[in-house]
């Protein structure tokens, strides 16, 4: 009888919720909590109604209680993660979401929450502020050092990130989480041997450490790949869930031992898992293109501020894997040119204009420039220019060129077939790269890039220099001289030797740019084209006149 009464009350609460009668639904749900305190559904309904009412803070205790009662129900976990994020408790939201993703690795809503946290630089800055405040009274708190280090990396403060990781590793070298990040930093600095030693040590203690298995799979030689494959296969068989890291690790190892053609079905499997949990939204990207370009109509005057401070901003953009890292390493090899890696500020500072469709005025452009310079990482005194190589700034070039009248934009153009293959055979966990796990989405995003750049070329003309990747690697002297002249900087022979640049590299190109400039990756898609047909069919030949895509 009691179960029937509870069921009836739940039905009434849900019916009121569906009808939009939120206060009535809340009243019935809270009555249910009083009458049936051990029934988690009433807490869940109360929390959801409060979320609909935008009362996120009040919803949290209900989701906490529902999750406590049913720890294996992912819906309660999703709701709590979202409520923590919406109330600005970013450190808690991040920690909780990442922890629960280990339990529910392919949960779409948890991945969405994680994406939203990752895509906003303001979230990472709040984590830095939170950790810094706590570290003032507890300077050797390893957990806080690690949290701050991660956040610092996300906003481009590379040296500060390394400092925190080094200190945390010094204090707790046996902490696998910290040791793994230390290994990553060593690899990014060019110390591949030191990185591998730490990763192998982690695997001795924890043979199924998926992040270490994936990282090593991308670094080791063909001779070592067979040994590691056994560990990867064992980890896969011992896991109830399909883990992205392990499936990608297996694909990388197959590529080393059996060749890329044999590995591509495994890459397809790994990407399918990733795309299912975090799909690309075609319509949303089309809407974003319209919203952004409509703020800078062709043929109208661009709202430009008078800011022309030094150092001069150089924005290197293009599709990811198109040579943006190579160009940054070439530029920052020259004296007095500071490389800043991939800054999120271009998107962070323009987000509200895109979402609200608010006009971008001269005052906004001035504020944008001032805030950008205030929030960017410190660069060496005497620098005449700095390089921000965020590839996806191809979406935000209008804001950047309006805010910085003296800015230079270098657009890296590369055969989209080679770019697409390069994306397909790497794991890109970042939310902004979700298209990389679908061949159709890779083609769509590539076409979108050309449409953005066609618009910016029409609006800004000669303020943008397009550099064909294939020509750059074939004749680095001529094209590096062209780039230097365009940017108004002195050309240096060191620009032709980016492999000697000791700057940390934090992109998927970190191994390639440690080698001499080469043309060997050009046309690599041809030998495996049968695996890439959905992508090849998706390119619009009219958008790519430089390449024979028909």
The per-residue pLDDT for 370 is 94
The per-residue pLDDT for 487 is 95
Q: Which two tokens stand for residue 447?
A: 């076409």
Percent of the chain at pLDDT > 90 equals 60
pLDDT > 90? residue 288: yes
Number of Cβ atoms within 10 Å of the Cβ of 439: 24
Distance CA 107, CA 417 (A): 31
Number of Cβ atoms within 10 Å of the Cβ of 118: 17
pLDDT in tens, 73-88: 888 788 888 888 888 7
CA distances to 142, 145, 156, 158, 329 from 134, rounded to whole Å, are: 11, 10, 22, 21, 36
pLDDT > 90? residue 401: yes
pLDDT grade for 514, boundaries at 50, 70 and 90: low
CA quadruple 343, 347, 352, 357: dihedral, nearest 10: 160
The per-residue pLDDT for 110 is 80
Q: Which residues contact 359 (CB under 8 A, 6 or more apart)?
A: 295, 303, 353
pLDDT > 70? residue 511: no
Q: Where are the domains of the chain?
A: 2-118, 138-277, 284-543
The CATH architecture annotation of domain 138-277 reads: Alpha Horseshoe (1.25)
pLDDT > 70? residue 343: yes
- Residue 287's Cβ-side half-sphere holds a number of Cα atoms within 13 Å equal to 8
Q: What average pLDDT score do residues 424-431 get?
A: 82
Tabulate helix, strand, coil % of the chain (nearest 5). Answer: 65, 5, 30
Q: Is 1.25.40.10 the CATH number for 2-118?
A: yes
Percent of the chain at pLDDT > 70 equals 96
Q: Which residue has the higher pLDDT, 316 or 86?
A: 316
The per-residue pLDDT for 104 is 83
Q: Which residue has the higher pLDDT, 308 or 449?
A: 449
Least confident of 208-222, 365-379, 452-466, 514-528: 514-528
Q: Which range is most confident: 219-228, 238-247, 248-257?
A: 248-257
**The CATH number fitting domain 284-543, selected from 3.90.1300.10, 2.60.120.10, 3.30.450.20, 3.40.50.300:** 3.40.50.300
For residue 311, whether the previous peptide bond is cis, meaning omega lies within 30 degrees of 0, is: yes
Q: Do domains 2-118 and 138-277 have the same CATH topology?
A: yes
The per-residue pLDDT for 149 is 94
- Residue 62's Cβ-side half-sphere holds a number of Cα atoms within 13 Å equal to 27
pLDDT in tens, 266-279: 999 999 998 988 88
pLDDT in tens, 152-170: 998 889 999 999 999 999 9
**Residue 337, SS3?**
strand
pLDDT in tens, 23-34: 988 898 889 888
pLDDT in tens, 107-155: 888 887 777 777 666 788 888 998 999 999 999 999 899 989 999 998 8
The per-residue pLDDT for 513 is 55
The per-residue pLDDT for 204 is 95
pLDDT > 70? residue 231: yes
The per-residue pLDDT for 115 is 75
Q: What are phi and psi of 410, to 5 degrees?
A: -110, 115
The per-residue pLDDT for 20 is 83
C-alpha torsion sign, points 275, 277, 283, 289: negative
Distance CA 270, CA 426 (A): 10
Distance CA 459, CA 210 (A): 47
Q: What average pLDDT score do residues 300-327 get?
A: 90
Least confident of 23-27, 307-311, 396-400: 307-311
The per-residue pLDDT for 431 is 63
pLDDT grade for 308, boundaries at 50, 70 and 90: confident
Contact predicate 438/280, CB 8 Å: yes
Q: What average pLDDT score do residues 366-381 get?
A: 94
The per-residue pLDDT for 390 is 95
Residue with tokens 């935000």: 396
Residue with tokens 């403060």: 157
What's the whole-model pTM score? 0.83
Q: What average pLDDT score do residues 306-310 get?
A: 76
How long, in residues, is the chain?
A: 550
Q: What average pLDDT score do residues 407-423 get?
A: 97
pLDDT in tens, 450-480: 999 999 999 999 999 999 999 999 999 999 9
The per-residue pLDDT for 297 is 96
Q: What average pLDDT score do residues 484-488 get?
A: 95
Q: Which residue has the higher pLDDT, 66 or 432?
A: 66
Mean pLDDT, the chain, whole residue set: 90
């Amino acid at each position: 009888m009691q179960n029937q009464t509870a069921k009836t009350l739940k039905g009434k609460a849900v019916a009121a919720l569906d009808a939009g009668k939120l206060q009535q639904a809340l009243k019935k749900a809270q009555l249910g909590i009083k009458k049936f305190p051990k029934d988690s559904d009433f807490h869940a309904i109360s929390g959801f109604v409060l979320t609909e009412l935008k009362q996120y803070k009040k919803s949290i205790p209900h989701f906490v209680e529902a999750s406590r009662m049913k720890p294996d129900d992912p819906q309660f976990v999703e709701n709590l993660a979202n409520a923590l994020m919406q109330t600005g408790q970013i450190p808690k939201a991040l920690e909780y979401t990442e922890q629960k993703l280990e339990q529910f690795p392919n949960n779409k809503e948890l991945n969405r929450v994680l994406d939203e946290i990752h895509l906003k630089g303001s979230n990472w800055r709040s984590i830095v502020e939170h950790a810094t405040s706590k570290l003032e009274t507890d300077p050797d708190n390893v957990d806080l050092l690690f949290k701050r280090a991660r956040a610092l990396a996300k906003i481009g403060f590379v040296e500060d990130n390394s400092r925190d990781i080094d200190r945390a590793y010094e204090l707790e070298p046996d902490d696998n989480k910290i040791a793994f990040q230390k290994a990553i930093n060593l690899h990014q600095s060019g110390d591949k041997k030191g990185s591998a030693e730490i990763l192998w040590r982690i695997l001795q203690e924890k043979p199924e450490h998926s992040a270490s298995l994936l990282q090593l799979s991308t670094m080791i030689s063909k001779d070592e790949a067979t040994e590691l494959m056994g560990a990867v296969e064992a980890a896969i068989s011992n896991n109830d869930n399909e883990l992205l890291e392990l499936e990608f690790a297996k694909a990388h190892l197959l590529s080393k031992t059996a060749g890329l053609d044999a590995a591509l079905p495994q890459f397809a499997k790994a990407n399918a898992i990733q795309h299912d949990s975090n799909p690309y939204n075609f319509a949303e990207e089309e809407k974003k293109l319209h919203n952004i370009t409509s703020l800078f109509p062709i043929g109208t005057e661009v709202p430009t501020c008078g800011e022309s401070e030094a150092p001069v901003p150089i924005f290197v953009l293009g599709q990811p894997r198109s040579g943006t890292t190579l160009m940054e390493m070439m530029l920052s090899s020259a004296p007095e040119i500071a490389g800043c890696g991939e800054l999120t500020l271009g998107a962070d500072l323009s987000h509200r204009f895109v979402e609200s469709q608010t006009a971008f005025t001269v005052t906004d452009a001035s504020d944008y420039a001032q805030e950008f310079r205030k929030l960017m990482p410190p660069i060496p005194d005497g620098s005449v220019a700095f390089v921000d190589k965020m590839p996806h700034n191809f979406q935000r070039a209008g804001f950047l060129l309006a805010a910085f009248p003296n800015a230079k934009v270098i657009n890296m153009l590369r055969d989209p077939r080679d770019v697409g293959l390069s994306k397909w055979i790497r794991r890109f966990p970042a939310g902004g790269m979700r298209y990389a796990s679908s061949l159709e989405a890779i083609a769509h995003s590539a076409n979108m890039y050309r449409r953005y750049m066609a618009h910016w070329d029409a609006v800004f003309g000669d303020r943008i220099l397009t550099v064909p990747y294939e020509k750059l690697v074939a004749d680095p002297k001529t094209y590096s001289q062209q780039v230097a002249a365009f940017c108004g900087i002195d050309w240096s022979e060191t620009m032709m030797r980016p492999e000697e640049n000791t700057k940390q590299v934090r992109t998927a190109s970190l191994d390639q740019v440690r080698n001499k400039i080469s043309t060997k990756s050009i046309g690599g898609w041809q030998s495996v084209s049968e695996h890439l047909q959905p992508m090849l069919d998706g390119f619009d030949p009219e958008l790519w006149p430089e390449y024979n895509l028909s």
